[in-house]
Chains A and B, each alone.
Chain A
């Protein structure tokens, strides 16, 4: 490895770069060589340092680029494998298209009734998709149960905090995702503005939330995912959504938090929410 640097083995004898034609005078044929050159301690340490540098550079390449490639592909495949997700939603709906999909009529938009009950998902089960028009018309990511990195956040993207509310329930539907690397589902979290739609779809229903506020907190501030994040410890009265991701980018020093509340939910099979077709300005 790394045999390209010219190496001084003995004074007055230079090993040439490996791609150069071997010189008979300087280097006898490998088999039957009478003696091997001595290893110099400094030389070996130097070579090991070069190797360590190459490994570190490889790690950075892997973390910054390869995990994104892998994560985006894997999360796309998960979304495409969900048979209840409509294909034109997966492909990204062209806003303002002449024959776009039907939108959900107002009489099917519910605000104060509970959505259809769903079984609590198993750990790592993908039970919902998330769409955010602010993040692009083709933004659709799977939402899976659990927030451990190795099982959920790294391979599957967005994770749901266990024992927080399910979509549309009174309480706090709390989810987490990477802001950098691993497909970075929450890459553009800082672009969200008050009123932006956060759209969740499950097998049975659409849930349209809108952003209310954002804050930056310490990693230990768990009250942001409390059932009522505005009044931790009290019984929830609102149907909330909370996003957590890292802050600043490429750091784990703080957390970027977005809170939103439910505008309405609607049963699936009656078109898509009109908010999905709106490209925010």
Chain B
């Protein structure tokens, strides 16, 4: 399992591993929120508010 391998690859006791995971997850969420999701939403026409000719 991928999650098991990641867990085993992390150094230190369980608490340290958990802390590392939390930091990594927070960094990933930040990148997603600030860069990836705004970029994706450009291509999802869910939020259009303007009238325009096609």
Contact = CB atoms under 8 A, between A and B. Distances in A.
Contacts of B24: 1
A6 to B, nearest CB: 10
B50 A244 contact: yes
B42 A7 contact: no
Interface string A169-184: 0000000111111100
B19 interface: no
Nearest to B9: A30
Interface of B: 1-9, 14, 17-18, 21, 24-25, 29, 32-33, 37-38, 40-42, 45-54
A7 B47 contact: no
Interface string A188-228: 00000000000000000000000000000101111011000
Interface residues of A, number: 56
Contact of B41 (A63, A159, A221, A244): A63
Contacts of B42: 149-150
Given A58-B32, A219-B51, A224-B51, 15 more contacts: A1-B3, A1-B24, A37-B4, A39-B2, A55-B32, A58-B29, A59-B37, A147-B50, A150-B42, A153-B49, A153-B50, A154-B38, A176-B49, A179-B49, A244-B50
Contact of B1 (A22, A44, A257): A44
A154 B6 CA distance: 37
The secondary structure that dominates the B interface is: helix
Nearest to B48: A252
A246 B4 contact: no
A245 to B, nearest CB: 5
Contacts of A58: 29, 32-33, 37
Interface stretch (A13-21, A91-99, A109-117, A137-145): A13-21
A78 B49 CA distance: 21
Interface of A: 1-3, 5, 7, 9, 15, 18-19, 21-22, 30, 33, 36-37, 39-40, 43-44, 47, 55, 58-59, 62-63, 66, 147, 149-150, 153-154, 159, 161, 176-182, 186, 217, 219-222, 224-225, 244-246, 250-252, 255, 257
B11 to A, nearest CB: 8
A30 B46 contact: no
Contacts of B51: 217, 219-222, 224-225, 244, 255, 257
A164 to B, nearest CB: 11
A7 B14 contact: no
Contacts of B21: 1, 3
Contacts of B38: 150, 154
Leading 6 A-B pairs by shortest Cβ distance: A3-B3, A252-B48, A3-B7, A176-B50, A62-B37, A245-B49
Contacts of A153: 49-50
Nearest to B17: A18
B4 A220 contact: no
A103 B41 CA distance: 43
Q: Which of B9, B32, B46 is most buried by chain A, counting CB atoms within 10 A of its CB?
A: B46
Nearest to A256: B49
30 contacts: A1-B21, A1-B25, A3-B21, A5-B3, A7-B3, A15-B4, A18-B17, A18-B18, A30-B8, A37-B1, A43-B1, A44-B1, A47-B1, A58-B32, A59-B32, A59-B37, A62-B37, A63-B37, A63-B41, A150-B38, A161-B50, A179-B49, A181-B47, A219-B50, A220-B51, A220-B54, A225-B51, A246-B48, A255-B49, A257-B51
